[in-house]
Structure 1
Amino acid sequence: MSSDPPPLMPRAPRRHTLSVCMICKNEADRIEPALASVQDWADEIIVFDAGSTDGTLEIVRRYTDRVWQTDWPGYGPQRQRSLEAARGDYVFTLDADERVTPALRDQITAELASASVPCAVYRMPWGPIIFGKRLRRGGRYASPQARLFRREGAEFPQVQVHETLRFPPGPVGHFSGRLDHDSYRNYRHMVDKHSHYAWLLAQEKYARGKRTTVVTPVLRFVWEFFVQYLVRGLVLDGGRGFLLAVVLSQYAYHKYAALWTLQVSGAAPDARFAPELRKPSRP
């Protein structure tokens, strides 16, 4: 791969170039629909792979030659690496379990066809799919996602999980087109993923000096179930909605239970989660 790729040219009718950035590891069973949803639409597809061993890279290389094989520094640093490799005026971050719907593609194309794009960041609705069916409400997974943004001035923080984009300056716009999100292969994957994230976030809280009590995990479980099932409407999604509300409540429970075990054990904070290391890296 050349270290100096040629300049991007926007696909007509867009006047502004578009980079799609993805990070992944061992996603061979589901990455192709994500890549296919942006093929012949993005001006470049950038993929940072953290050591896949299941054939993911063979699939990725059918769609792009802008591929990097790296270590795993955490979600925030890996997102930042992909952002720094992008050349487009605008960047769209896409995960292996997501698909850009035709409606969303059309809306983004129309926006980037303008001589002067009015917004620095664009949010769009997530369309959560749980075990083969799209949810009506989705709970926390229905929250609009800030996935399209101006490259200049954007950055990702150096966090291990739940890396929230630091917006470039400018107004925020909204699309009605949906970004589909089929996150869980099966129930075990669902539980394992939440348990893993809960442990990472507990370590982050502990490194930042957060502390809790032994009853907090139970209180957080009850509160989270109330919010997700009733306030955010998962009650309207039948059995899938109920199951997701319980799993999200378990996620909250595990996060604070893990934090409590760290503090009572007197464990040394993991340096990866120390606040002084949370500043974004610079090119």
Structure 2
Amino acid sequence: MAQLTVCLLTHNSLRTLAPCLTPALEIADELVVVDSGSSDGTLEYLAGQGVTPIHRPYKTHAEQMNFAIAQASHDWVLCLDSDEFLDPETLAAIRALKPQLSDPDTAYRIRRYWRVLGREVHGIYPVSSPDFPLRLFNRQKVRFNDVPVDDKATGARKRIVLPGHVVHDTFFSLHEVFAKLNGYTSRLVRFQEVPPSLGRAFFSPPFAFLKWYLRKGGWRDGAVGLVTGAYAALYTFLKYFKSWCRARGIPLQ
């Protein structure tokens, strides 16, 4: 039977840590936790569970996750963020799969439903819900591509969707929405080429709002749908506006 390492990233994750960690421990032969400087009680909670995290400053999600993968003792890894919760069907599927894990070119995707401000939504820019991230794989073949935002695991020749799903409980408050929006767009502009265009900054956001509110189904999500539509519009505005400012020597931070 293959041994499985669960790789978990944390940062001020106390709100979601118990529903994430409890099911993960049920299938983990080893747990690797990489923390990027929590100060909200996350470290104390982990200590209470007998878990000693590795501290590493955060640069990008991909870099952090690849570091966690490199610390694993086993080649088969399951990668999770601390706001992702595995359901019982997925746990059962992974238990059944472990004796069969032998082909390093085969990797496994998990159906992921997004929850924003406590409500399941149809999408949050730039992904629709559900999406199907690749999370269970052999580390000899797969790594996360190092892009500033919206990275993904790449390298598998064959991909299979596991039964069950994971809930991604993100953006617990409006403050968190705007804080992450600011952080994501600044990181995008610093590490990826974005056209420094005032025209795109002012003319693209209405179309982004309409796409995510109407076409992607945000209108079905009530008031939270308006938030996700506004998020798409503001993300679009900020990435072009920040790029324009950066090209003119205006510091982002």
* TM-score normalised over the length of structure 2: 0.87
| 1:119 and 1:173 in contact (8 A); partners too | no
Residues 71 and 118 from structure 1, CA distance in 2 versus in 1: closer, same or farther, beyond 3 angstroms?
A: closer
Equivalent position to 2:110, from 111, 120, 124: 124
Gaps of 5+ in 1: 1-14, 270-283
1:246 aligns with 2:227: no
Equivalent position to 1:164, from 152, 157, 167: 152
How much does 1:148 deviate?
1.4
Deviations 1:48-94 (A, max 9, x none): 11222222112123345452122334323221210101123321111
1:261 aligns with 2:245: yes
| 2:196 and 2:245 in contact (8 A); partners too | no
1:154 aligns with 2:142: yes
| Farther off after superposition, 93-102 or 158-167 | 158-167
1:103 aligns with 2:89: yes
Aligned pairs, number? 250
Q: CA RMSD in A?
A: 2.5
How much does 1:161 deviate?
3.6
Q: Partners in 2 of 1:38 and 1:248 — Cα distance? A: 32
2:236 alignment partner, SS class? helix
Paired residue type of 1:155? R
1:162 alignment partner, SS class? coil
How much does 1:141 deviate?
4.5
Residues 227 and 88 from structure 1, CA distance in 2 versus in 1: closer, same or farther, beyond 3 angstroms?
A: farther
Residues 119 and 110 from structure 1, CA distance in 2 versus in 1: closer, same or farther, beyond 3 angstroms?
A: farther
| 1:229 and 1:245 in contact (8 A); partners too | yes
Normalized per residue, the structure richer in helix is 2
Residues 93 and 115 from structure 1, CA distance in 2 versus in 1: closer, same or farther, beyond 3 angstroms?
A: closer
Gaps of 5+ in 2: none
| Farther off after superposition, 181-190 or 29-38 | 29-38
| 2:77 and 2:136 in contact (8 A); partners too | yes
Correspondence list, 1:55-204, <5 A: 55-65=41-51, 67-114=53-100, 116=102, 120-135=106-121, 137-139=122-124, 140-142=127-129, 143-167=131-155, 169-204=156-191
Deviations 1:166-218 (A, max 9, x none): 32x4201112411101111211111111111011101123xx4x433211023
1:44 aligns with 2:7: no
